[in-house]
Amino acid sequence: MKLFVAGITGATGQVFLPLAEKAGHELVFHVRPKSKDKTPLGSDPRARIFDLTDDGALDDAIAGSDAIVSFVGTMRKRFSDGDDYATSDVGSARSLAKAAKRKGVPRMLLLSSVGAGGSGAYLKMKLACEDAVRDEGLAWTMFRPSILVSPADGTESHHGKREAPFGTTALFGALGYLPGLGNVSLDYKPVPIALVCKGFLEALAHPERYDGKVVLGRDLWALSPS
């Protein structure tokens, strides 16, 4: 399958890349001009270097793709560098979905967050990202994992590793022993990024099961062999 991937230079994208290659996908990916010298991916022949606000470059980059995958997002500590939720998260989701519509790319898979649509600026913004994709009438799959955890093998992006705050895995794991809270525990337990990526690859392979689905932690843990 030919994939256009945005957010490849982040913690999730770095884990997804080799797994998607191994699964046999043909990749074209987005790298921002301001980040191109911060990562070896900036000089990869599959990279397209432009800003996602450049509709012409985006249309060219996604042309012929079977699906768009987005791991784009920012965090408050980067607001001072010029990224914010409106531009990085919602703006990029909207740009990608609108481009998909213009160029006839049929599907988009988006990394969102557990609790999207809940209270607080971050969770409201995550639902706005999802809605920006749904609004374009594409086939979509939304992923709503809890706290992401980078692999222990040292895979790391220029944005660093993702780690669960001390005690959260034990706390949310323990919730699962309480009657009726098994799925809540699975939805909120910190989740390995590799498992999230496995979910994306499963969804790409099985549109009949995943188009129109919001994938929760419980669905991801069901893919785990352990």
Ligand X SMILES: NC(=O)c1ccc[n+]([C@@H]2O[C@H](COP(=O)([O-])OP(=O)(O)OC[C@H]3O[C@@H](n4cnc5c(N)ncnc54)[C@H](OP(=O)(O)O)[C@@H]3O)[C@@H](O)[C@H]2O)c1
The site for ligand X (CB under 6 A) is made up of: 7, 9-13, 32, 35, 52, 71-74, 83, 87-89, 92, 111, 113, 145, 147-148, 157, 159, 162
Please report, for residues 37, 152, 187, 204, 212, the alpha-carbon distance to residue 108 in angstroms, rounded to integers and kept in the order given.
Answer: 28, 29, 22, 10, 10
The least CB distance from residue 189 to ligand X, in Å, is 12
The least CB distance from residue 101 to ligand X, in Å, is 19
The least CB distance from residue 34 to ligand X, in Å, is 6
- Let me know: does 73 contact 109? Beta carbons within 8 Å: no
Q: In terms of CB distance, is 47 or 105 closer to ligand X?
A: 47
Q: In terms of CB distance, is 12 or 107 closer to ligand X?
A: 12
**Conformational region of residue 160, where left means phi above 0, alpha means psi within -120 to 50, and beta covers everything else:** left
Q: In terms of CB distance, is 170 or 178 closer to ligand X?
A: 170
Q: Which token pair is 14? A: 């770095």
Q: In terms of CB distance, is 145 or 210 closer to ligand X?
A: 145
In sign, the C-alpha dihedral spanning 173, 176, 181, 187 is: positive
The least CB distance from residue 162 to ligand X, in Å, is 5
The least CB distance from residue 225 to ligand X, in Å, is 23
The residue among 196, 215, 225, 212 whose CA lies nearest residue 106 is 212
The full length of the chain comes to 226
**Conformational region of residue 17, where left means phi above 0, alpha means psi within -120 to 50, and beta covers everything else:** alpha
Question: At 96, is the secondary structure helix, strand, or coil?
Answer: helix
Q: In terms of CB distance, is 52 or 203 closer to ligand X?
A: 52
- Let me know: does 211 contact 193? Beta carbons within 8 Å: no
Q: Which token pair is 65? A: 């793709």
Q: In terms of CB distance, is 89 or 219 closer to ligand X?
A: 89
Q: Which token pair is 73? A: 């997002």
The least CB distance from residue 190 to ligand X, in Å, is 8
